[in-house]
Chain A
Amino acid sequence: NAGVTQTPKFQVLKTGQSMTLQCAQDMNHEYMSWYRQDPGMGLRLIHYSVGAGITDQGEVPNGYNVSRSTTEDFPLRLLSAAPSQTSVYFCASSRRQIGELFFGEGSRLTVL
């Protein structure tokens, strides 16, 4: 039982490059979300989805895009990477909209 799988675990980008952080869950969860974690800032919500085809913005959505074409996958796209996007990114899923979040192991992104 894989749970929530994030890839890649580590990535280094140059300013201006684009990339996609992948997130997949095998628990048939309706709700999925992306957070970034920076020292002293806690977990900040980037985007979330309450089901396939439905996404919404969180607290810090600028510079990121998401889509939810299937229940299982919720990729996070960085359009033009900036040093301010250096962070640890966590994907999480939940069986229902208000419920226990299962987190992936995280993806550490460095933008030079």
Chain B
Amino acid sequence: QQPVQSPQAVILREGEDAVINCSSSKALYSVHWYRQKHGEAPVFLMILLKGGEQKGHEKISASFNEKKQQSSLYLTASQLSYSGTYFCGTTPLVRYTGANSKLTFGKGITLSVRP
């Protein structure tokens, strides 16, 4: 089952901040974030494992609330290069083995940064 991403689209001006959300109805082991530019392959941003950690990548950071099965991606002081489609992917938490490597992605959110 695909995770659900919100909002559907984001339009920003350079320097503004944005938050993209990702939620699942299942218990999660990990959340993955990727960015894809038009006509290109997705590119890895970060992985968050269960434990509620927050990670950062340049001016992009993310959090993972495992109790709520939600993750948020924070983009601060956005740059033109941040434009693209952002995908979250999730792997389920499996009771006896702990992790399952079946990574499913959401439908993606288009983010446009304007000068």
User: What DSSP secondary structure best describes chain B's contact surface?
Assistant: strand
The CA of A33 and the CA of B89, in the complex, are separated in Å by 13
A90 at interface by CB-CB < 8 Å: yes
Chain B residues with a Cβ closer than 8 Å to the other chain, count: 24
The answer to whether A44 touches B105, judged by C-beta atoms less than 8 angstroms apart, is yes
Q: CB-CB contacts of B63-98 with A at 8 A, as 1s and 0s?
A: 000000000000000000000000101010000000
The 8 Å CB contact of B2, one of A59, A100, A106, is A59
The smallest beta-carbon distance between B96 and chain A, in angstroms, is 16
B49 at interface by CB-CB < 8 Å: yes
Q: CB-CB contacts of B89-115 with A at 8 A, as 1s and 0s?
A: 101000000010111111110000000
B interface residues, Cβ below 8 angstroms from A = 2, 29-30, 32, 34, 40-44, 47, 49, 87, 89, 91, 99, 101-108
A interface residues, Cβ below 8 angstroms from B = 31, 33, 35, 40-45, 48, 50, 56, 58-59, 90, 97-106
